[in-house]
């Protein structure tokens, strides 16, 4: 059984985000980039399923410019067998990415599509669900546990009410939440080996994808600042301050 794992290149989660002074976006030049952490969890899950013998081949895929090859190399170092690069420069919105990913999934004849529940740059949390919709497949989002059982998957999901368990027929889309697993550290020999693994380049045109009208960002601003508060010295002072504001 083949699994497709999509990985997105994003600003590293430790970087302090700066908004450009002209409000045209956030600063990404010269900033450390990494694999979206939720996609890394998806990649790790695919590896674990392969190590258990449930999956025979892992194909990593990304949608983005030339620099995204680094992201695919990281996925290959994790253990993906090969990679597909949907090479397109410029801003790509979730629906367009989903159309491309759906086309790759179909072309590869994969049974499981694993990806992060959201990317930590645009925080949209849409792509996986959209792929499932476009292909009329089952989806299990925000997964904290995945078990493959023949032609089915049993997935536990983190929802507001608690933990929900769904049974889905394969092929299906599963999006990874934070507690699904803890990704392994990459070892140097694996990073070296990844350099020799094949990456196939495709394009929107070759996949038959035509980007539609998306959202137009007219302004990017820093969040409103909270005023700095006061430091009290004792519990009595704190209780008095809260009472004075009518909060308790």
For other proteins, the binding residues in 226-245 under the rule CB under 8 A are 226-236, 238-239, 241-242, 245
3-state secondary structure of 177: coil
| Contacting other proteins within 188-227 (CB under 8 A) | 212-223, 226-227
**Min separation Cβ 199 and other proteins, Å:** 27
The answer to whether the beta carbons of residues 131 and 167 sit under 8 Å apart is no
CA distances from 202 to 7, 62, 93 (A): 16, 10, 18
Q: Which is nearer to other proteins, 39 or 177 (CB)?
A: 177
| Contacting other proteins within 80-109 (CB under 8 A) | 93-95, 98
The bridge status of strand 112-116 relative to strand 2-6 is: parallel
According to DSSP, residue 30 is labeled T
Cα angle 115, 119, 120 (rounded to 5 degrees) comes to 145
First to last CA, the chain: 59
Of the candidates 121, 190, 197, 199, which one interacts with other proteins according to CB under 8 A?
121
The bridge status of strand 162-169 relative to strand 138-149 is: unpaired
Tell me phi and psi for residue 181, to 5 degrees.
Answer: -170, 175
Q: Which is nearer to other proteins, 189 or 212 (CB)?
A: 212
**Min separation Cβ 67 and other proteins, Å:** 19
**Min separation Cβ 147 and other proteins, Å:** 11
**171: cis peptide before it, omega within 30°?**
yes
| Contacting other proteins within 4-23 (CB under 8 A) | 11, 16-17, 19
3-state secondary structure of 19: strand
**Min separation Cβ 56 and other proteins, Å:** 22
| Contacting other proteins within 21-60 (CB under 8 A) | 26
**Min separation Cβ 58 and other proteins, Å:** 23
| Contacting other proteins within 126-155 (CB under 8 A) | 126-130, 132-134, 136-142, 144, 154
Q: Which is nearer to other proteins, 83 or 127 (CB)?
A: 127
The answer to whether the beta carbons of residues 102 and 113 sit under 8 Å apart is no
Longest dimension (CA), the chain: 70
| Contacting other proteins within 65-84 (CB under 8 A) | none
Q: Which is nearer to other proteins, 65 or 144 (CB)?
A: 144
**Min separation Cβ 192 and other proteins, Å:** 32
């Amino acid at each position: 059984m083949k699994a497709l794992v999509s990985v997105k290149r994003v600003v590293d989660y430790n970087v302090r985000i700066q908004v450009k002074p002209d409000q045209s976006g956030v600063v990404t030049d010269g900033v450390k980039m990494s694999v979206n952490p939720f996609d890394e969890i998806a990649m790790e899950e695919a590896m674990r399923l392969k190590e258990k013998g449930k999956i025979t081949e892992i194909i990593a895929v990304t949608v983005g410019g030339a620099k995204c090859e680094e992201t695919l190399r990281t996925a290959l170092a994790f253990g993906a067998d090969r990679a597909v690069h949907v090479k397109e420069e410029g801003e790509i919105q979730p629906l367009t990415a989903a159309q491309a990913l759906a086309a790759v999934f179909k072309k590869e004849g994969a049974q499981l599509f694993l990806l992060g529940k959201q990317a930590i740059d645009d925080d949209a949390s849409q792509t996986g669900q959209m792929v499932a919709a476009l292909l009329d497949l089952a989806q299990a989002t925000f997964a904290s546990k995945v078990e493959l059982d023949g032609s089915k998957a049993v997935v536990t999901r983190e929802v507001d009410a608690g933990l929900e368990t769904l049974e889905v027929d394969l092929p299906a889309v599963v999006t990874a939440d934070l507690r699904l697993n803890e990704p392994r550290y990459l070892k140097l020999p694996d990073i070296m080996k990844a350099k020799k693994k094949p990456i196939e380049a495709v394009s929107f045109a070759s996949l038959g994808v035509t980007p539609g009208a998306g959202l137009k960002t007219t302004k990017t601003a820093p969040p409103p600042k909270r005023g700095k508060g006061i430091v009290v010295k004792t519990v009595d002072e704190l209780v008095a301050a809260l009472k004075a504001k009518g909060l308790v």
